[in-house]
Amino acid sequence: MIKPLVLLVDDEVPFVETMTKRLKKRDLVVNVAFSGQEALDILDKNRNTDVVILDVKMPGMDGIETLSKIKKSYPLIEVVMLTGHATVESAIEGMKKGAYDYLMKPCDIDQLMQKVEEATQKRQVHEDKIREAKVKEAMSVHGLE
């Protein structure tokens, strides 16, 4: 299985650093961004990113806004929200805008890993299906069927 490529977005630098180490130790390839804008830039360079782990509360462009921009430009990339709020509302809003799932901070690393793996799988399945569809289309166009 290919190592999932993850983008971790949070404005808390120590949190990002530690989390990166822990995720890398669990065989993930991790990119980091400290703001919504930076996250969009990195995604532009790394189109093959599988999952974005996104903090809801950030200065400037917040998690929800970043989420909707990601989903607009890269609909196949899955997003797991991290929320510091006990409010279910922001999580629900995130889910409505297309987030894969949400977790509350501080979160259990195993739970997070589980979500990331599920999301990656989902993305893989989607991509496979799209690839299959494209192949079928191409075959039908060339009259190979």
Partner 1 sequence: MDRNKQKQNGYYYSLTRNMLLVIILVSIMPMIVVSSLILYEFDISYREKVHAHLEEVVLKHKNDIDIFLKQKLSDIRLLAKTFTYKELCDESFLQERLEVMQQIYGPVFVDLGVINAQGVQVAYAGPFKLGKALYSKANWFQMAMKSDYFKSDVFLGLRGLPHFIIAVRESWRSESWILRATIDFVAFNNLVENIRIGETGFAFILNKKGEFQTKPLFDISPNNKPYVDFLKDSNKFQDGICIVEKADNSGNKVIYVAALLKHGEWLLVYQQKSSDAFSDLRRTLRVTIAIVLLAGICIVAIAFILSKRMVNRVAEADREKEMITEQVVETGKLASVGELAAGIAHEINNPVAIMVEEAGWIEDLLEEEEFKDGENLSEFQRALQQIRTQGKRCKEITHKLLSFARKTDSRIQDVQLNELIEELIALSAQRAKFSNVDIHTDLQGDLCTIQISQSELQQVLLNLINNALDAMEKTGGTLNISSQLEGNFIVVGVADDGPGIPGANLVRIFDPFFTTKPVGKGTGLGLSICYGIIKKMGGDIEVRSTVDVGTTFSVKIPVPKNEDQTGN
* Contact residues for partner 1, defined by CB under 8 A: 12, 14-15, 18-19, 21-22, 25, 57, 84-89, 104-107, 109
Q: Which residues of 12-25 are buried (b: 16+ CB within 10 A; e: fewer)?
A: eeeebeebbeebee
Q: Between residues 86 and 144, which has the closer beta carbon with respect to partner 1? A: 86
Query: Would you say 18 and 44 are in contact if contact means Cβ atoms under 8 Å apart?
Result: no
Q: How far is the CB of 87 from partner 1 (least distance, A)?
A: 7
- Provide φ and ψ at 81, rounded to 5°: -90, 140
Q: Between residues 56 and 77, which has the closer beta carbon with respect to partner 1? A: 56
Inter-CA distances, 74 with 9, 58, 71, 106, Å = 16, 21, 5, 28
Q: Between residues 32 and 43, which has the closer beta carbon with respect to partner 1? A: 32
Q: How far is the CB of 29 from partner 1 (least distance, A)?
A: 17
Q: How far is the CB of 33 from partner 1 (least distance, A)?
A: 17
